Amino acid sequence: MLSHPAAAEQTRVVPSLEDPSLYFSRELSWLAFNDRVLEEALDARTPLMERLKFVAIYGSNLDEFFMIRVAAIKQQIAAQVLRRSDDGRTPAEHLGTISEHLRGSLARQMRLLADDLLPGLEAEGIVIKRVGELDDETQGALERTFDDRVFPVLTPLAVDKGHPFPYISNLSLSLAVELEEVTREGVQLHFARVKIPPTLPRFVPVESAPAGARWFVLLEDLIAHHLDALFPGMEVRETYLFRVTRDADLDLQEDEADDLLEAIESELQRRRFGEPVRIEVERGIPEYMRDLLLEALDLSETDCYEVDGFMALRDLWSLIGQPDYEKLHDAPFAPAIPKRLIGVTDMFAAIRDGDIVLHHPYESFDPVVQFVQQASEDDRVLAIKMTLYRTSGKNSPIVRALLQAAENEKQVAVIIELKARFDEENNIEWARRLERAGVHVVYGFANLKTHAKITQVVRQDEDGIRRYMHVGTGNYNEKSARLYTDLSLFTCRPELGADATQLFNALTGFSKVTDYEELLVAPVTLRRELTALIDRETENARAGRRSGIRAKFNAITDPELVRALYRASQAGVPIDLMVRGMCTLRPGVPGISETIRVRSIVGRFLEHSRMFVFENGGDREVFIGSADLMARNLDRRVELMVPVTDPLVAEALQSQILAVLLADNLKSRELQPDGSYRRLAPAGTDLPVDAQKIFLTQASSL
């Protein structure tokens, strides 16, 4: 007997919002994002070198995933942590699931390189040759290269009773060498390790390549071909490439550190000696050799990944950067200067005329640099305060401007985040240079990262003191501002300036601010205020008022905010989320998240901007900021969200940027209830929409 649909609806059981089935694995969600990066490399519509770039990014991302996320899981396993994550898995179950998922992804990546990208490069004249397939004259030239440039750098390391297994540095390539020695007692087998020197180019040019072509041999192949020079009197039987990944997260006891800078320097030294978390081995490696490596590194079969082809994908960048192959890249573009700022020499006057928003990389980062440079030289400027998370290296124009400001005897205070992962050494160097110049350098709070992106300039204007601000969603890094999509807001609104002063006082002094008038600041108010904004939409929907949430950010993994969004969806709030990476929220679940749509864009530029739009019963509110919806951002970082109160700027953000992103149907994937992502395509009479191309076209017309 068939049941009536209404009856089925009445008997449907809605799970508790704490039910693990409502949450995706954070780790698997991250791997799904990296798979979307790999999909871009699979797309034949993308220029060849850009496809190779996505493969390099895929590999680099995966290295960091193991160094940080997998390392953390293995630490939990070692500590016998049995607590299940929000999705119901134990640490050991997560590790097994990660390993299982990656087997398929890595196989796709290897086939892509071997069957598509490398043959494509060969057709364009860029060829990776094996030493043994070259003619005698060319091999002779390479042998001289080996003798002169490579051999002096190599250090073969034997492994036997008298020679313990050597230390294998993080992400280094090594050759496992099987040697045969004939003695009176008979044939003896030996094992040795030869490190591939990271100080030498991985791709060794072949000078005799035909005209118009570029031939290379891999450094490891060149070394393997001449191993007899390293082991005279021995016969080299087999060589196999392998690579080790180690735990690279810093383990700081900040509460016990008298000097944070010295503590981080010490931890950076220890990072080199982190515990192994992964080994990659060349396919075909003998079982005994594989077992020897696993035992020496205290790794299991789960941690071992066979590679059938190119290893250490990040090294592909040296091929991607080959000159004279512009046709294999995306068409170059020059970031535009908005019409309002063309020819402007006084940024302060422009900001007084009204708030300004910039959309990077389509609009130039130069006005941000100009703002800080002008502040460093302007006689009316009394003080400059800034947070620095990542900069562009030794020639950062932002930091040069801060040094100039200090030389001009302005009061300069800079909060430098020494714990910015993998930028620690760079930030330590800048901290010392700024301190020597007389800048007040602060390292932020113990056990909190300062991730907020804000600059405040205090200026004596003709009508009194005025505070000018720049708030961004990205770092003060003019190089990444050409690669990442981010937003910049310039304003001198007094209420925001007052809050910013309170924030800097809290960062540099003993001020214990518990509330702000306009700014949303983590870890003080951001979680509470974000939850309240979502709950307000929930109440509006229940009361029949206009409601809706549209937002763009990089990740959502915080269970409290996921539950708040679930409650909003249950009340009927339409929710559109653009989430680049990790998303533990499960959309489209009947009775839970039917009104939630989650999309992700992976394209030419890394989507990095964060913005939030709340309908608020028709009185729409717009925010931009530095935070993602993760516990670390809300509870363990100093983050900032700023309301965009200028009506024209707010309208531009929500209708000219966010709406276009949400309409993308070429580079966008939609998250399905089962955790898979479905690539969108124009349907019926729909026009194709590639948001990043639209923004590029708009910028070029300015």
Catalytic residue numbers, as ranges: 451
Distance separating the N- and C-terminal Cα atoms of the chain: 66
- CA 603, CA 578: separation in Å to the nearest integer? 14
- CA 443, CA 260: separation in Å to the nearest integer? 8
Sign of CA dihedral 74, 78, 79, 80: positive
Sign of CA dihedral 541, 649, 647, 656: negative
Please answer whether residues 279 and 293 qualify as being in contact, where contact means their C-beta atoms are separated by less than 8 angstroms.
yes
Q: Find tokens 């304003």 and name the residue.
A: 491
Query: Within 13 A of 17's CA, how many CA atoms are on the CB side?
Result: 15
* 551 φ, ψ (degrees, to nearest 5): -150, 155
According to the 3-state scheme, what is the secondary structure of 79-110?
CCCCCCCCCCCCHHHHHHHHHHHHHHHHHHHH
* Element containing residue 698 per DSSP (H, E): helix 691-700
* Encoded tokens for 304: 């071992």
* Element containing residue 157 per DSSP (H, E): strand 156-159
Residues in a beta bridge with 598: 577
Q: Which residues of 623-641 are buried (b: 16+ CB within 10 A; e: fewer)?
A: bbbbbbbbebbbebbbbbb
Please answer whether residues 240 and 175 qualify as being in contact, where contact means their C-beta atoms are separated by less than 8 angstroms.
yes
Cα–Cα distances in angstroms (integers) from residue 583 to residues 33, 568, 577, 692, in the given order: 9, 17, 10, 22
* Encoded tokens for 416: 């430098």
Long-range contacts, 287-290 (Cβ 8 Å, 24+)? 289/176, 289/178, 289/191, 289/240
The residue type found at 677 is Y
Please answer whether residues 86 and 23 qualify as being in contact, where contact means their C-beta atoms are separated by less than 8 angstroms.
yes
Residues in a beta bridge with 186: 183
**For residue 628, is it left (φ>0), alpha (ψ between -120 and 50) or beta?**
beta
Please answer whether residues 211 and 260 qualify as being in contact, where contact means their C-beta atoms are separated by less than 8 angstroms.
no
Across the beta sheet with 203-206, the strand order is 126-129, 214-218, 203-206
Q: Find tokens 């989650």 and name the residue.
A: 598
Please answer whether residues 164 and 191 qualify as being in contact, where contact means their C-beta atoms are separated by less than 8 angstroms.
no
